[in-house]
Amino acid sequence: MSLLIEGGHVLVEGRLLRENVFIDKGKIQQITPQRPNADQEINAKGKIVLPGLIDCHVHCREPGLTHKEDFYTASMAAAAGGVTTFFDMPNTHPPTFDIEDLEAKREMAKKSLVNYGFYFGASSNNIEQIKKARNIAAVKIYMNETTGNLLLENDTIIEEIFKHAPRIAVHAEGEQIRKAIHLAKKYKKFLYLCHISSKDEIALIKKEKTENIFCEVAPHHLFLTDSDHKKMKGLAYMKPVLKSKKDQNALWKGIEDNTVDTIGTDHAPHTLMEKKSNSPPAGVPGLETMLPLLLNAVNEKKLTLQKLSELTAANPARIFGIKNKGIIKEGYDADVVVVDLNKEYKISNDALFTKCKWSPFHGKKVKGAVDFTIVNGNLIYHHREFERIRAREVVFSG
């Protein structure tokens, strides 16, 4: 089925152009002032047409933790948030430590409405499995304590993984970041530093970064601080924890000076009951609030649309070697989101599609909303309605 996105302003090569986008056979066929006949039309007058977001950091919770989320509900939240591809993290039950677990996840993820990729987990004894894993985003090493039992503290084992894994992503905080960078340089490896959250960390990364080392920040660290943690308690508790205003400013500065490469949600849903308990688990959902919050930041002149799109689409595709995604270009995959930069609304728990049904941003007013989400050329989300069309696993190259 062909599709015409008509009358919008389209982000092409960093500029907003008044063009129509003709989509057929899953691809962007033409960016044109013409109006080719299409089976379906989307009226995008007054709207902005962006490449669909690629979220490099999502905990879909399947298998084993599906009372919090599963691939289907995570993908609904993603679609409602303009995210057309996500990479799933390995701290499930069981964790993704061997090929069998990975293959099982591949089956489970087939119900996803958005495209997906997987991280592979590093344990103290799965190096042979790591060597065999194919088409993964990276091997994820937990170098600090967080949700799940995936912490690796043995330096010899960590070094062995850096030696053998082609690409490594780390949950590393503070001094552990220095260690990860040192090993990435020693073995000339791709290193993706997840959810960097402090001023000191940004300063270190700015100094030590190479063309193989990449830095992610998460929306909760950009839009919340430790004072929100005090107010919201467990609901604003995640790892790394929320930091000071000074740290937050450093993250924004890091975005400006290109120390930061990507914004990834670290969508980490837990139930409200779990979060309101005496020992709440770390993590907050973020898939459907990231883009509205960032659009709101564009309206507040904290960010340009071009930069937003680089951090959430073009850079993820380039860094992880996903061909034909991340920008709007003829011949590229038709993963597209149509947003309304002028629509104002209040983020509300009731309106969320994540299974956990709450957000640390509940009650926050934003200007900027997702209207239409297109995945592989199919309109799968518009104005709170979903079309149940399955998406597919991405191919990582490089």
Active site residues per annotation: 266
Handedness of CA 321, 324, 328, 329 (dihedral sign): positive
Contact yes or no for 3/39 (Cβ under 8 A)? yes
Report the residue from 238, 250, 374, 391 that binds ligand DOR according to the rule CB under 6 A: 238
150 touching ligand DOR, by CB under 6 A: no
In the complex, residue closest to Zn ion by CB: 171
Give the integer Cα–Cα distance in Å for 80 and 288. 6
Q: 324-383: which residues touch ligand DOR (CB under 6 A)?
A: none
> Which of 286, 256, 283 lies closest to 271 in space, CA to CA?
283
Report the residue from 75, 84, 85, 91 that binds ligand DOR according to the rule CB under 6 A: 91
Q: Taking the complex as a whole, how short is the minimal distance between the CB of residue 68 and ligand DOR, in angstroms?
A: 8
Helix (H, G, I), strand (E, B) or coil at 16: strand
Give the integer Cα–Cα distance in Å for 1 and 19. 20
Q: Taking the complex as a whole, how short is the minimal distance between the CB of residue 48 and Zn ion, in angstroms?
A: 29
User: Concatenated DSSP letters for 205-246?
Assistant: HHHH--TTEEEEE-HHHHH--HHHHHHHGGGG--SSPP--HH
Contact yes or no for 38/238 (Cβ under 8 A)? no
Contact yes or no for 288/350 (Cβ under 8 A)? no
DSSP state at residue 322 = B
Q: Please give the size of the binding site for ligand DOR, defined by CB under 6 A.
A: 11
Contact partner, 147, from ligand DOR, Zn ion, none, Cβ < 5-8 Å per class: ligand DOR
Give the integer Cα–Cα distance in Å for 275 and 354. 15
Q: Give one word for 220, left, alpha or beta, with left for phi > 0 and alpha for psi -120 to 50.
A: alpha
Q: Which stretch binds ligand DOR (CB under 6 A): 31-39, 196-204, 281-289, 323-331?
A: 281-289
Phi, psi at 22, each rounded to 5° = -100, 125
Residues pairing with 285 in the sheet: none
Q: 146-205: which residues touch Zn ion (CB under 5 A)?
A: 171
Other CB atoms within 10 Å distance of the CB of residue 231: 10
171 touching ligand DOR, by CB under 6 A: yes
Q: Taking the complex as a whole, how short is the minimal distance between the CB of residue 269 and ligand DOR, in angstroms?
A: 8
Taking CA atoms, 306 is separated from 98, 303, 309, 367, 394, in Å, by: 39, 8, 5, 17, 24
Report the residue from 123, 129, 147, 176 that binds ligand DOR according to the rule CB under 6 A: 147
Q: Taking the complex as a whole, how short is the minimal distance between the CB of residue 85 and ligand DOR, in angstroms?
A: 19
Report the residue from 82, 117, 280, 283 that binds ligand DOR according to the rule CB under 6 A: 283
59 touching ligand DOR, by CB under 6 A: yes
55 touching Zn ion, by CB under 5 A: no
Q: Which stretch binds ligand DOR (CB under 6 A): 77-85, 131-139, 183-191, 276-284?
A: 276-284
Q: Taking the complex as a whole, how short is the minimal distance between the CB of residue 323 and Zn ion, in angstroms?
A: 26
Contact yes or no for 55/78 (Cβ under 8 A)? yes
Whose Cβ is closer to Zn ion: residue 92's or residue 248's?
A: 92
Give the integer Cα–Cα distance in Å for 37 and 231. 54
Q: Taking the complex as a whole, how short is the minimal distance between the CB of residue 36 and Zn ion, in angstroms?
A: 42
266 touching Zn ion, by CB under 5 A: yes
239 touching ligand DOR, by CB under 6 A: yes
Give the integer Cα–Cα distance in Å for 345 and 342. 10
Contact partner, 283, from Zn ion, ligand DOR, none, Cβ < 5-8 Å per class: ligand DOR
Q: Taking the complex as a whole, how short is the minimal distance between the CB of residue 224 and ligand DOR, in angstroms?
A: 13
Residues 179-218, mask of contacts with ligand DOR (x by CB under 6 A): ----------------------------------------
In the complex, residue closest to ligand DOR by CB: 283
Q: 59-88: which residues touch Zn ion (CB under 5 A)?
A: none
Report the residue from 17, 157, 282, 341 that binds ligand DOR according to the rule CB under 6 A: 282
Residues making contact with Zn ion (CB under 5 A): 171, 266
Residues making contact with ligand DOR (CB under 6 A): 59, 91, 146-147, 171, 238-239, 268, 281-283
